[in-house]
């Protein structure tokens, strides 16, 4: 876990309480929260961050590459402080949204599309299914 203040400084951004809290929250969560979930969770105890600032800050952090936007569900924009290449699993039943290590799909071979797409910048595998918990409880089968 890198100090959020350090990361912000490295990008030439002022370290404000709001930015610090938003980046730290994203670093610490296993989840991929939406802007609205961030507003709610950050202000749960001590309200100090407006909705506008959450949106502004997320855009700023995205622009400098400290977070990425993840958009694999209709109308839902999620944020991810894991900026290393990795993949995702999405549960059809509960919406659970997990990271999958890059290593897991090392086997993925790009040579079949290299001629058609010589300028690839990023690859991501989306795995959809039912998570262990939802399968155990049998909801939504």
Q: Which of 2, 6, 28, 36 binds DNA (CB under 7 A)?
A: 36
Q: Which of 29, 56, 82, 104 binds DNA (CB under 7 A)?
A: 56
From residue 61 to residue 80, the character string flagging contacts with Mn ion as x (rule: CB under 5 A) and all else as - is: -------------------x
CB of 20 to DNA, least distance (A): 8
Angle between helices 17-28 and 51-64 (to 10 degrees): 70
- Using CA atoms of 112, 86, 61, 15 in order, give the dihedral in degrees to the nearest 10: -140
CB of 127 to Zn ion, least distance (A): 13
Phi/psi at 15 (5° precision): -90, 105
Q: Which residue reads 């990023």 in tokens?
A: 122
Both structure tokens of 24: 């730290």
Told to check if 108 binds its own copies by CB under 8 A, we report: yes
- Residue 99 interacting entry, from its own copies, Zn ion, Mn ion, none, C-beta within 5 to 8 Å by type: Mn ion
Both structure tokens of 41: 């969770």
From residue 68 to residue 97, the character string flagging contacts with its own copies as x (rule: CB under 8 A) and all else as - is: -x-xxxxx-x-----------x--x-----
Told to check if 6 binds DNA by CB under 7 A, we report: no
Distance of alpha carbon 82 from alpha carbon 79, whole angstroms: 9
**Of 63, 55, 69, the residue nearest 22 (C-alpha):** 55
Told to check if 53 binds DNA by CB under 7 A, we report: yes
Residues making contact with DNA (CB under 7 A): 13-19, 34-36, 48-53, 55-57, 59, 74-77
């Amino acid at each position: 876990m890198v100090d959020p203040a350090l990361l912000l400084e490295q990008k030439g951004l002022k370290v404000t309480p709001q930015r610090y809290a938003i980046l730290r929250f994203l670093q610490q969560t296993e989840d991929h929260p939406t802007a609205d979930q961030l507003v709610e969770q950050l202000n749960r105890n001590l309200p100090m961050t407006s909705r506008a600032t959450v949106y502004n800050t997320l855009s700023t952090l995205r622009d400098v590459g400290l977070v990425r936007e993840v958009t694999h569900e209709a109308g839902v924009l999620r944020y991810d402080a894991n900026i290393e290449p990795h993949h995702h699993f999405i549960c059809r039943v509960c919406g659970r949204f997990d990271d999958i290590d890059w290593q897991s799909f090392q086997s993925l071979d790009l040579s079949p599309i290299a001629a058609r797409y010589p300028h690839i910048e990023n690859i991501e595998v989306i795995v959809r299914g039912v998570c262990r918990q939802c399968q155990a409880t049998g909801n939504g089968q």
